[in-house]
Amino acid sequence: MPLVPKKLSERLEALWSVRFSSNMGIHGGGVVVIENGKILGGETGYTYIGSMRTDRERVIARVRVSKYMAEAAPIFGMDHFEMELTGRPDESQIRFDGFIVGSPQHDIAIDLVRRVELP
């Protein structure tokens, strides 16, 4: 029986490491799980919760970043914000570019690297 190629959204379901940088000199990283169009993850002090969809070979995501540890330093001077992101994945990584909703002057670049398939 021939293998049926997976849709792009199914190929993205995995545990990913995250590295981000901004035009304001802010850098950091964490991890996310992408499954069924949902993005769940975080880093020390912050959670990342969002959704994504695919449009041909492009990924469009909206992610809410929320502080959960009082002692964590604010990102972009904010404890909570949303990002709009677009990217083009390959088999092992995704490069997203986007901005902070309500503050389009705050550009952000995010690199995801696939670490493991989901069981």
- Do 111 and 16 form a contact (C-beta atoms < 8 A)? no
Residue 68 in tokens: 């959960």
Each residue of 65-92: pLDDT tens digit? 999 999 998 888 889 999 999 999 988 9
20-31 pLDDT, tens digit each: 988 877 788 999
User: Collapsing DSSP states into helix, strand and coil, what is residue 10?
Assistant: helix
Compute CA distances 98 → 6, 31, 93, 117, whole Å: 26, 18, 16, 26
- pLDDT band of residue 35 (cuts 50, 70, 90) is very high
Domains recognised in the chain with CATH numbers: 17-117 (2.40.128.380)
